[in-house]
Amino acid sequence: MRLLVTGGAGFIASNYIRHVLRTYPDYHVINLDSLTYAGNLENLKDVEDSERYTFLKGDICDNNIAGGLEFDAILNFAAESHVDRSILDAQPFLQTNIMGTYNLLEIARQRSCTFLHVSTDEVYGSIEQGFFNEESPLMPNSPYAASKASSDMLVRSYVETHNIHAMITRCSNNYGPYQFPEKLIPLVILNAINDKPIPVYGDGMNVRDWIYVVDHCRAVDAVLHKGISGHVYNIGSRNEQPNIDLIKKILTITANRLDLDEGNLMDLINFVEDRKGHDRRYAIDPSKIERELGWQPNMTFDEGIEKTIMWYTSNKRWWERIISGQYIDYYNLQYGERLET
């Protein structure tokens, strides 16, 4: 198969591309990414020499971008993804997440290729008790979540109206290697290592449901190969935690592993003003994908968080180049330029 993976220089899709190239010796992956601040080609340094990998610098909103490329499926991971940034300025979220998805849907329609849309559990909004399933209404609360919900609706409409072959996945919060350090888990690890305050929004009792990124990638792959067109699949590993408990757990492991004083790390915790519209709890029911596609998470949270902390501590150069800004487009590629072996 030839896959067009969008946003492949970001956190989840770079893990996905690595997973595909390792799992399927005959698959070719084209990574289409515009390299925003969140795109980092260093995330794929270990696979960039593969003959089965092509990088193309381009914007998913550009309707000429796929000209000359051949592929059987589009996997749309590209997005503006950080809730806090969407509160400060929603415009790029609407542009990329809505208009970009629309543009890719048009390409999928014209070429009759499969479209897999990677969405989020945040489209369901916040839930005090119980779990969201695939039939739950969409009640997004942040501009990020609203832009993702809009794109989900567009995908649905293209299935109903144009009969394209498309699936939607809605995953819970991911963690693992290569996550950009503005997100909670890498931020806590790096601030602990660098002796910086750890901002905790509000009372720290907001609950998130965490999944190891490779388990998410395996689930996306199951949907690509076995999913039914028009269906939505929730992805999660039944691992809810209040933020403050999660933060303390990370600090304890970091102190043990790096032989640092646990009390000093705990003192870095700094309660700050709450995020506007901060969703209290996300919790999804993943039983449909488990039952219908036979997917199960492989990683327990204890193993996954340990692995992640060790990854950040042993990949100092990776995150130092992010903090210094040196990572940005280090190949100095022109728009539309390709990188292939």
The reply on whether position 61 binds ligand NAD by CB under 6 A is yes
CB of 200 to ligand NAD, least distance (A): 18
CB of 262 to ligand NAD, least distance (A): 27
CB of 336 to ligand TYD, least distance (A): 31
The reply on whether position 305 binds ligand NAD by CB under 6 A is no
The reply on whether position 187 binds ligand TYD by CB under 6 A is yes
Nearest in space to 210 (alpha carbons), one of 283, 136, 124? 283
Contact 254, 260 (CB under 8 A): yes
Distance CA 77, CA 7 (A): 5
The reply on whether position 184 binds ligand TYD by CB under 6 A is yes
To 10 degrees, the CA torsion angle through 239, 76, 135, 304? -10
Nearest in space to 284 (alpha carbons), one of 172, 161, 138? 172
Given 24, 37, 201, 311, the residue binding ligand TYD (CB under 6 A):
201
The reply on whether position 168 binds ligand NAD by CB under 6 A is no
What number of other Cβ atoms are within 10 A of residue 275's Cβ?
Answer: 14
In the residue annotation, 233 being an active-site residue is answered as: no
Pick the catalytic residue: 144, 175, 312, 327?
Answer: 144
In the residue annotation, 121 being an active-site residue is answered as: yes
Pick the catalytic residue: 59, 122, 209, 221?
Answer: 122
The reply on whether position 83 binds ligand TYD by CB under 6 A is yes
- Give residues 1-30 in contact with ligand NAD (rule: CB under 6 A): 6-7, 9-13
Residue 174's H or E segment, with its range, is strand 173-175
Distance CA 135, CA 127 (A): 14
Q: In this structure, what DSSP letter does residue 2 have?
A: E
The reply on whether position 116 binds ligand NAD by CB under 6 A is no
Given 54, 81, 141, 254, the residue binding ligand NAD (CB under 6 A):
81
Q: What is the CA radius of gyration of the chain?
A: 19
2 burial level (CB within 10 Å; 0-12, 13-18, 19+): middle
Residues that are catalytic = 121-122, 144
Residue ranges binding ligand TYD (CB under 6 A)? 83, 173, 183-184, 187, 199-201, 206, 208, 243, 275
